[in-house]
Amino acid sequence: MRWPHYLLLTILGGCVALLLWETAALAELAGDFERRAVAAERAAGARRPAPEERPAQPSAGGSRRSAPAKGAEPDGAGPAGSLADYSRLQLELHTTREQLERLRELLAQRNEEIERRATAARERAEEALRPMPLGVRECLNALHECLRRDGFTAQRFLRASVIDADGLHDVELLEAAADGLSATFLTAARMTARLDRATGSLELRFFEGRRSDGGERAALPEAGFVVSFDDVDGRRFEERLPYLIRAEGAYPVPQVGPAVEPGKLDPGSRRQWAARLTRLLAAARTDLRWSTVRLRGLLEGRFLAVELVATNDKNSVLGSAHCARVAVEIDARRDVVSLLLQDGVMRREGVESQVDDQGFRMLLPGVTSKDATDVMLGMVVSR
């Protein structure tokens, strides 16, 4: 049994004790009034004089009755004050009895209500201790997994009792706040799940329950309380929870993007390979200092769309090369390394020359095959 149930039973017990105390006090007051009424009735009877004997009728035609004795009161007369007190006490006694009867009825109704609530609390406690059915547990686990994979980690379903065509029943949900310092506790008799395929939004609607947030409890609206999630993977939810999700609409047609160019590298990889190629060219003993300005990709051991720049000791640009393909070529037998330029144009000292598919080989003196292989991580071609 949880602490709210203990608190409810304590309050109800206090109410019952208070009602019993009030009933005892009212019964004591009614008994006092009844004793006073009986005493007043006995006193009035003791003060009433005994009836006097009437004289005998005259034997012949006597028409007059004997006069009453001196000092005697007329028949049927009594002390006026005693009769008024007696009437007042009778009225008060009758009123007290009616109030006591109404109080007994109210107490009986209150006892029935207390018993009904205690029975309901006992049933809820037994239901809370009863383990969830295996199918309901698998449903909640799948719902948690789908929400977590879409980035929603604040919601935690604590329990549910039944799942059918109307949704989940007897649901308990705990939702943590964004700052992690508070939480919302939600209980509902029923929960439904609706998925909008077109917008990718999931809507969980809770009916007939209560919501506790920040120490305040409020009943759920008749139309249901909604917890929504945007940009979810609807296909995953439908695949994992076909018996819970009610999907509407159609999924948008995926946009077909342009085909990825073969050999294209990401910006980070392009910078790394350009730096390695520049390091290799700097190690060569050539009259000009060549460096790699840009390259686009790497395919079958050849760098694609490469731009090279040649400078002198004063950092003046004296040459350049723009080629569709560039490869580091080694001749292991003679231990010769060269840079193979293909399909492009080469400029040097103001003279521009075309490079065909056969290629132009720029010798790299001072660089061995092993050095080239190590610097380029094996990305070389053999002659």
Backbone dihedral angles phi then psi of residue 113, each to the nearest 5 degrees: -65, -40
| 296 pLDDT more than 60 | yes
DSSP 8-state assignment for residue 288: S
Domain ranges of the chain: 3-46+80-129, 134-248, 267-382
List, for residues 346-380, the tens digit of each pLDDT value. Answer: 988 878 889 898 889 989 999 999 998 898 988 88
Q: What is the pLDDT of residue 80?
A: 54
User: Which residue reads 């003679």 in tokens?
Assistant: 334
Classify 257 as helix, strand or coil: coil
List, for residues 329-350, the tens digit of each pLDDT value. Answer: 998 889 899 999 999 999 888 7
Q: In Å, how far are 2, 7, 132, 189, 204 from 216, measured between CA atoms?
A: 19, 17, 28, 20, 22
**CB-CB contact of 322 with 307 (8 Å):** yes
Confidence bin at 81 (pLDDT 50/70/90) = low
Output the pTM of the full model: 0.41
Judged on CB neighbours under 10 Å (0-12, 13-18, 19+), 162 is middle
Confidence bin at 43 (pLDDT 50/70/90) = confident
Question: Mean pLDDT across the chain, nearest whole number?
Answer: 83
Residue 157 neighbours by CB distance under 10 Å? 21
Secondary element (H or E) of residue 372:
helix 369-375
| 56 pLDDT more than 50 | no
Helices 80-129 and 3-47, packing angle to 10 deg? 160
The angle subtended at Cα 21 by Cα 20 and Cα 25, nearest 5°, is 115
Q: What is the pLDDT of residue 2?
A: 65
Confidence bin at 213 (pLDDT 50/70/90) = confident
